[in-house]
Structure formats: C-alpha cells, structure tokens
Amino acid sequence: MNSRLFTIITHSLFATAVIASFVWLAYANAVPSGAVTYVQDFEQGTPFVSDFWPPERFDPVVKIGEYAVRPVVESPVSFFIHPPRTFVTSTIQIVYKLKDTALFEIAVETGPEPEDYKIYQWQSLESLPGDWWRGTIVVPMNDWWRDENNRYHAQMHVSDLLENHNILWVKEMRVKLEGRPHGWREWWNAFQ
C-alpha cells in the first residue's frame, strides 16, 4: 500500500475514535433521557456520590452478610453529589440500620455557612429483611445549594449517636436525578 495513503487512513481512524469518545462523553453528561441514578454502595463506589466527611466520624467499611457497609459513629456526617448537569428533582434513598433506635434525618445544605441547612423528614420508610430500613426523600434541586465545584452537599443527623455509643450502618445511598431542560438556552445553562 502507498505509504502516504496508509498514514492518512491510520490517522483518520484514530481521529474518528477520539471524536467519537468526546461525543459519547457529551451525550453521557447531557443525560438526554432526563433521568439518571447513581449508587454509592461503599464497594464499587461512584464519583457522582461521595463517601462521608469528616473521616473521624466513621469507621472502615465492614462486611455484614454479603454487603459492604459503612459504620458511622458520630453525627452529623456530610456527603455530596456531583451531577453532570442541573436537574429539577432528586430522590435520595438510604438503606441503613441503627444499633439502637434513634432519630435519623437527612439535611440538605442551603448555603455555604454551617447553619445553612434544611432538614427533610422521610417521605417513606420501608422495612427490609435483616432489620434494614430504606428511607426516601424527594428534594427539589432549587432548594439545594451548589458549591463552586458544582457539588450539592447533604448531611446525616442522628440524635445522640456518639453519646449513646450508637452506630449507624449505611449500606447504600441511591440518588435518582430527574428533569430535562427545555430549549437551547436551558440546555446550555444546565452545564454552567
């Protein structure tokens, strides 16, 4: 084969692969279906839903049965979600178990100051086998403050967790984001 033709074909193939990879990335970030679910299971992990913070308030991941579980020993702990664009609503589901009964609530941060948060009551609380519970809240994304890195922060509050030597085991955090922008301007703003 002609040497020059071979070079052109080789580079064309690689250029196509590079362009295709960025088209796919843009498609994945846009979430054109309008809904996406991210799961933090403390085993596989996901960059879209963080682990807890600060680290001194939780213990290393343990195995309970076949599941990897994060034990939390002091309240509150925070975590963040980092969606690829803005959405309208977020449905947060937490699968958890408490060593002793206590009040457990989720708060979303509404501003940069420590006191800027809003407590959400569980909208549904479902009992699962093995004394696990699945709590669900629906948060309008307009209520939720977004930091300079486009991250939305939330907190887990458990009453007297450290004082009572209680433990909160978190098995899974599932975040479903929904909402499709309308029109080019909204699509563009969704990435800003």
Partner 1 sequence: MTIVSKITAAFALWSGIWLALSALLEFWHRGFVVHHVNTRWVWLFFGITAAAWLIVKTKDPWGQALAK
Q: Is there binding between residue 188 and partner 1 (CB under 8 A)?
A: no
All residues at 6 or more sequence positions from 67 whose CB lies less than 8 Å from its CB, including other chains:
41, 43, 171
List the one residue from 36, 39, 48, 133 that touches partner 1 (CB under 8 A).
Answer: 48
List the one residue from 2, 32, 44, 47 that touches partner 1 (CB under 8 A).
Answer: 47
Applying CB under 8 A, which part among 12-20, 104-112, 117-125, 181-189 lies near partner 1?
A: 12-20
Q: How far apart are CA 78 and CA 181, in angstroms?
A: 29
Q: Is there binding between residue 35 and partner 1 (CB under 8 A)?
A: no
- Given phi > 0 = left and psi -120 to 50 = alpha, else beta, which region is 160? left
CA-based nearest residue to 36, from 179, 185, 151, 152: 179
List the one residue from 36, 61, 68, 82 that touches partner 1 (CB under 8 A).
Answer: 82
Applying CB under 8 A, which part among 17-25, 99-107, 127-135, 170-178 lies near partner 1?
A: 17-25
42-44-47-52 Cα dihedral, nearest 10 degrees: 10
Minimal distance, residue 158 CB to partner 1, in Å = 30
Q: Burial of 127 by CB count in 10 Å (0-12 exposed, 13-18 middle, 19+ buried)?
A: exposed
Cβ neighbours around 115 below 10 Å, total: 7
List the one residue from 44, 101, 127, 149 that touches partner 1 (CB under 8 A).
Answer: 149
List the one residue from 11, 37, 124, 126 that touches partner 1 (CB under 8 A).
Answer: 11
Q: Which residues bind partner 1 (CB under 8 A)?
A: 3, 6-7, 10-11, 14-15, 17-18, 21-22, 25, 28-29, 47-48, 82, 84, 149-150, 191
